[in-house]
């Protein structure tokens, strides 16, 4: 019993010490982040009132009393939403295609040489660690304001993220088909095409679909830095306090994201089903 008490006590101390460390870290962080409970308490009532304001029209009526007034810019927003979706689509497809090529160069089991592999890996790391929006800011300088900067930012980020995932998929393949094709004297790219690609294709598509979901969300905020899509109108509405516009655009984005998510998950399940049948 004494030993039990001692063990419990030592564990308690351990826990206490950890809690103290976390609390100290939070305290230091809150000094640095200028956290002020007073300011928070003084202003917190504005959070619910802001949310409530979002759902009221200019004339003070709740938004659902007049859909025509709430979604007055429907045509314009739908066009921008379509542009956002196209940005995500083009970005995902181009990024995934590039990532699929790089993955074979970056996978440990099939890479033609160590140097190529390390370079490809580092390149992918760079592409996904620098935030998308930073690339977008840089591309806006180079390509001017507009969706192209946004698409390229999405491409770069997708390339980085998928390059890593795809390479891991390739590392997990069965090497026998590749060896079989190589043994007939086929070149490296032929061995990859007929030995490796059939094994990884369904995983690639599934990851690319997941990435598409993420990119739709990403493309929706690209407009914040002037890189196209619906974000442009959203940030303008927020900055200029067009409350009902903010909620209208947000509702449209949320609905689109939900629809895209369920469509892609449907597709992915179909894909997995197909794989099971073969």
Binding residues for another protein, rule: CB under 8 A, are 22, 25-26, 28-36, 39-40, 43-44, 46-47, 50, 83, 86-87, 89-90, 93-94, 126, 129-131, 133-134, 137-139, 141-144, 146-148, 151, 217, 220-221, 224-225, 228, 234-235, 238-239, 250, 253-254, 257-258
Closest contact distance (angstroms) between CB of 184 and another protein is: 14
Closest contact distance (angstroms) between CB of 112 and another protein is: 27
Select 1 or 31, whichever has its Cβ closest to another protein.
31
Closest contact distance (angstroms) between CB of 137 and another protein is: 5
Distant-in-sequence, close-in-space partners of 10: CB < 8 Å, separation ≥ 6: none
Closest contact distance (angstroms) between CB of 235 and another protein is: 7
Closest contact distance (angstroms) between CB of 166 and another protein is: 18
Tokens 């990403």 found at: 218
Measured in whole angstroms, how far is the alpha carbon of residue 208 from the centre of its chain?
Answer: 11
Select 1 or 41, whichever has its Cβ closest to another protein.
41
**Residues forming a β-bridge with 62:** 56
Closest contact distance (angstroms) between CB of 228 and another protein is: 7
Select 173 or 247, whichever has its Cβ closest to another protein.
247
What CA–CA distance (Å, rounded) separates 184 from 121?
A: 30
Select 71 or 84, whichever has its Cβ closest to another protein.
84
Residue 178 tokens, joined: 């590749």
Backbone angles phi, psi at 62, to 5 degrees: -60, 150
Select 114 or 239, whichever has its Cβ closest to another protein.
239
H helices of the chain, in order, are: 2-32, 37-43, 46-54, 67-70, 74-106, 114-129, 132-143, 147-171, 176-183, 188-191, 197-222, 231-239, 243-277
Closest contact distance (angstroms) between CB of 274 and another protein is: 11
Select 110 or 237, whichever has its Cβ closest to another protein.
237
Measured in whole angstroms, how far is the alpha carbon of residue 46 from the centre of its chain?
Answer: 30
Contacts 24+ apart (CB under 8 A), 149-152: 149/222, 149/226, 149/227, 149/228, 150/87, 150/91, 150/219, 150/222, 150/223, 150/227, 150/228, 150/229, 151/87, 151/90, 151/91, 151/94, 151/228, 152/91
Closest contact distance (angstroms) between CB of 113 and another protein is: 25
Select 84 or 110, whichever has its Cβ closest to another protein.
84
Q: Contact, 174 vs 251, CB < 8 A?
A: no
Distant-in-sequence, close-in-space partners of 81: CB < 8 Å, separation ≥ 6: 230, 252, 253, 256
What CA–CA distance (Å, rounded) separates 226 from 217?
A: 16
Select 38 or 113, whichever has its Cβ closest to another protein.
38
């Amino acid at each position: 019993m004494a030993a039990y008490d001692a063990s419990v006590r030592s564990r308690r101390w351990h826990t206490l010490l950890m809690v103290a460390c976390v609390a100290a870290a939070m305290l230091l962080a809150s000094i640095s982040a200028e956290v002020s409970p007073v300011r928070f308490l003084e202003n917190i009532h504005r959070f619910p009132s802001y949310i409530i304001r979002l759902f009221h029209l200019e004339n003070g009526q709740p938004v659902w009393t007049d859909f025509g007034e709430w979604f007055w810019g429907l045509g314009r927003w739908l066009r921008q939403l379509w542009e956002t979706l196209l940005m995500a689509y083009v970005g995902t497809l181009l990024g995934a295609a590039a990532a699929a090529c790089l993955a074979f160069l970056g996978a440990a089991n099939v890479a033609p040489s160590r140097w190529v592999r390390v370079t490809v890996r580092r390149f992918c790391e760079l592409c996904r660690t620098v935030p998308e929006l930073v690339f977008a800011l840089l591309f806006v300088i180079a390509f001017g304001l507009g969706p192209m900067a946004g698409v390229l930012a999405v491409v770069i980020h997708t390339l980085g993220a998928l390059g890593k995932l795809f390479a891991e998929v390739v590392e997990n393949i069965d090497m026998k088909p590749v060896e079989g094709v190589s043994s007939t004297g086929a070149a490296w790219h032929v061995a990859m095409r007929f030995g490796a690609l059939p094994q990884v294709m369904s995983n690639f598509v599934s990851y690319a679909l997941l990435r598409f979901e993420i990119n739709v969300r990403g493309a929706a905020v690209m407009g914040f830095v002037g890189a196209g899509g619906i974000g442009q109108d959203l940030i303008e509405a927020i900055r200029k306090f067009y409350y009902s516009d903010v909620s209208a655009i947000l509702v449209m984005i949320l609905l689109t994201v939900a629809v895209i998510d369920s469509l892609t998950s449907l597709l992915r399940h179909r894909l997995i089903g197909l794989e099971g049948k073969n």
